[in-house]
Structure 1
Amino acid sequence: MTVQENSIALTGRRVVVTGGASGMGAGLVRAFPKLGANVVSMDVVEDAGAAIAKDAGAQFVACDVSEPESVKSALGQSVSLLGGLDVLIHAAGTAPGGAAEDITFATWSEVMSINATGTFLTNQAAFEHLKASGGQILNFASAAGVQGLPNKAAYSASKGAVVAWTRTVAREWARYDITVNAIAPAIWTPMYDKTRASMTPEQLAAHDAFMASAVPLGGKLGDVDEHFVPVLAFLSSIGARFITGQVFPIDGGTLMMR
């Protein structure tokens, strides 16, 4: 294997993925072992998470990312299973909708505790295992956290916090050789299928017309395996070790960062 090939390989990389029981997190749990990585999936949904991990040749640890002790314990257990840690991918999240004026305190608190506080807790826990020898952290941001998204005010606010946190700790933790980046994905998942199924034929037609103009590449959300996994694989490889504090849209050109 050449130096260039080795720099983007995942062979032997020790990776923890949160939110591994569904959506994009599950896609990574299924894909990364095939690319040579050793993977532990963490999720609050135990049955589905454990089944997906087992089928993929990964391991599973139950975790509630909004609870400090759960995160600390689960990360410690995961690192023990892996024999160390190279990469944390924090994919766990929630995205309820609704008009801003109608958001309840309970909904606001839940979204913030999972998306924003979950990022804070998992990143801090990973830091303790990475500070001696360096490593990589990948957080899940969103276009909503950069430019806002109507009817997703709490979600947008939480993802704005993820962006600000990521850029700040990227500066602070660089001296430990820890890189911290975020992605802003627009990927087709089972959750999106449910959203589409809840629309009337008229709403679906309007939505698809909007997507056709909003996504320059293809006019629709991307595919997990074709469009999403390859980018995450690179960002989890040692070839990405000179990149930090960035937000990478994986969205067909919808959000053009600058």
Structure 2
Amino acid sequence: MELTGKRIIITGGASGIAASAVRGLVAGGARVASIDVATDAGAQVVATANAAGGAGLATFHTASVVDRPGFFAAVDAAVQVMGGLDGLIHAAGVQQYKPAEDLDDDDWDRVMGINARGTMIANQAVFPHLKANGGGRIVNFASAAGLVGLPGAPHYSASKGAVLGWTRALAQAWAQHGITVNAVAPAMWTAMYDATRGRLSPDELVAHDAMMARAIPLGGRLGDPDIDMTPVLAFLVGDGARFITGQTLPVDGGTAMTR
């Protein structure tokens, strides 16, 4: 779990699980470069992480994973600041709920573009730096939706299924360079989930919580990103995970196990 001196890029670091990872990895001694399109929120997360007095240091860079030239430039700038690169946590993504019969091409292209093509771009951007480093870690964010399907979000499910296939293929192709490529499928309580709950009626919320209690064996509710997710990410980008690649790790209290 030792992260002192590790140089890690985190995408989507302005909010949610990725923001937790920025704070946690800095506290653990890593040098972190957070990349997000949300400049103000991303810069604030970095400022908070640095002010907490951890052993590491964070910087923020504005870029979108769907802008290939812009994202490559942000990665190059981050690597120059950190003096190299040891790993990528690619958490940037988008979710949309919409019935399959109502989807249009714009819905499909947006979700697939950010989640699937964005993963390709992010992984490609760090590849030459990890190769030059003699190896490193890539952790892509998948979802249980990519494993079992989410009826209310079929295009999201398809995009995360693509991430899983891409991750397994890359793990085989880039192993020769000492690069491990794994995926996580998290189920965490974030501000986005709070917003989703806020849109439910009292009766719908009761039904939703009852469903979650049945679906999640450990505690019956989503996990805490700081306690339940960030330590897993720290392990996967650290030296202890050097012999793990091509795997998908659900961090979901047992949800995927029960399906």
TM-score norm. by structure 2 comes to 0.95
Q: Indicate the SS of the match to 2:257.
A: coil
Residue 219 of structure 1, CA deviation: 0.3
Tell me whether 1:99 sits opposite 2:92 in the alignment.
Answer: no
Letter in 2 for 1:227: D
Residue matched to 2:204: 203
The 5 Å alignment of 1:143-154 reads: 143-154=144-155
Which residue of 2 is the match for residue 55 of structure 1? 48
Q: Deviations over 1:92-141 (max 9, x none)?
A: 00001010111121111111111001100010111111113100000000
> Which residue of structure 2 aligns with residue 66 of structure 1?
66
Which residue number in structure 2 is paired with residue 255 of structure 1? 256
For 2:47 and 2:228, locate their aligned partners in 1 and report how far apart those are by CA, in whole Å.
24
**How many residues matched?**
250
Shift of 1:74: 0.8
Matched letter for residue 136 of structure 1: R
Deviation, 1:55, is 1.8
Distance 2:101 2:76 in 1: 40
Structure 2 equivalent of residue 167 of structure 1: 168
Quote the Cα distance in structure 2 between the aligned partners of 1:60 and 1:81: 11
Residue aligning to 1:190: 191
Distance in 2 of aligned mates of 1:47 and 1:223: 24
Deviation digits for residues 26-71 of structure 1, max 9, x if unmatched?
Answer: 1111111100000010001111101111221210000110111111
Q: What corresponds to 1:32 in structure 2? A: 25
Matching residue of 1:46:
39
Q: Which residue of 2 aligns with 1:13?
A: 6
Runs of 5+ unmatched residues, structure 1: 1-7
Q: Distance in 2 between matches of 1:243 and 1:175?
A: 14
Distance in 1 (CA, whole Å) between partners of 2:226 and 2:22 is 11
Amino acid of the structure 2 residue aligned with 1:150: P
Aligned equivalents of 2:198, 2:10: Cα separation in 1? 28
TM-score, normalised relative to structure 1: 0.95
Question: In structure 2, what is the Cα distance between the partners aligned to 1:199 and 1:104?
Answer: 25
What root-mean-square deviation, in Å, do the aligned CA atoms of Structure 1 and Structure 2 show?
0.9
Separation in 2, partners of 1:115, 1:62: 18
1:23 aligns with 2:16: yes
Alignment partners' CA distance in 1, 2:174 and 2:74: 22
The one-letter amino acid paired with 2:49 is A
> Could you give the per-residue CA deviations for residues 172-221 of structure 1, whole angstroms, max 9, x where no partner exists?
00000000000000000000000000000111111100000000000000
SS at match of 2:127: helix
Q: Which runs of 5+ in 2 are unaligned?
A: 51-57
Aligned-residue offset at 1:21:
0.5
- Partner of 1:90 in structure 2? 90
2:55 match: none
Question: Offset of 1:242 from its aligned partner?
Answer: 0.3
The DSSP-based 3-state class of the residue aligned with 1:139 is strand
1:137-190 Cα distance to aligned partner (Å, 9 max, x none): 000000000110111111100000000000000000000000000000000000
Question: C-alpha separation between the residues in 2 aligned to 1:27 and 1:84?
Answer: 23
Instruction: Return the alpha-carbon distance in structure 1 between the equivalents of residues 103 and 16 of structure 2.
Output: 25
Deviation larger for 184-193 or 124-133: 124-133
Matches within 5 A, 1:208-247: 208-247=209-248
Q: Distance in 2 between matches of 1:83 and 1:128?
A: 14
